[in-house]
Amino acid sequence: MSQLFKWNIIYRPFFIVMVMNACVLYFSQTGNTRKFAETISDSLKIPAVFDLTTTEPSVVNDYDVIVLGTPVHGFNPSKELLSFVESLPEGDGKRAILFCTYRLWKGRTFGKLKKELKKKGYDNILCVSTKGREFTEEGFSDPICKITEALKE
């Protein structure tokens, strides 16, 4: 069966989530971004979650949608994620979702990553963020709902 037709259907109260063959890749220095990545994975039933410091960029070839996460460092994406994105294989229209955790402000985090993804041929469909020190289930619900809606389109 073609990867384009591999769907997981997840039933949630009030909505149905259809997740294509997706993976979550993240860099986390303090654990906040890792926690957000795991929450995305658990909520959307995406079993493939990778710490990008131990993952080759070519892993994205196996997935239809990539979800990339970074903490904000100096109002920019982490150098680790930016370098990873620069090393990605050509995307040929593959969909990408970006997420970040921040303390004060997101700054230019998404702008730089979107630019690099576009150069590589990825279609960035959504950017979501959460304040890094305010982790509660309620704090994650809005970004998770936004990701859910983007994946349904």
Model pLDDT for residues 78-120, shown as the tens digit of each residue: 999 999 999 999 999 999 999 998 887 777 889 999 999 999 9
**Domains, the chain, with CATH or none:** 20-152 (3.40.50.360)
Residue 72: both structure tokens together: 């904000």
Query: pTM to 2 decimals?
Result: 0.82
Quote the CA–CA distance of 43 and 28 in Å, as a whole number.
19
pLDDT in tens, 125-147: 999 888 766 555 556 677 888 88
Count of H-run helices and E-run strands, the chain: 4, 8
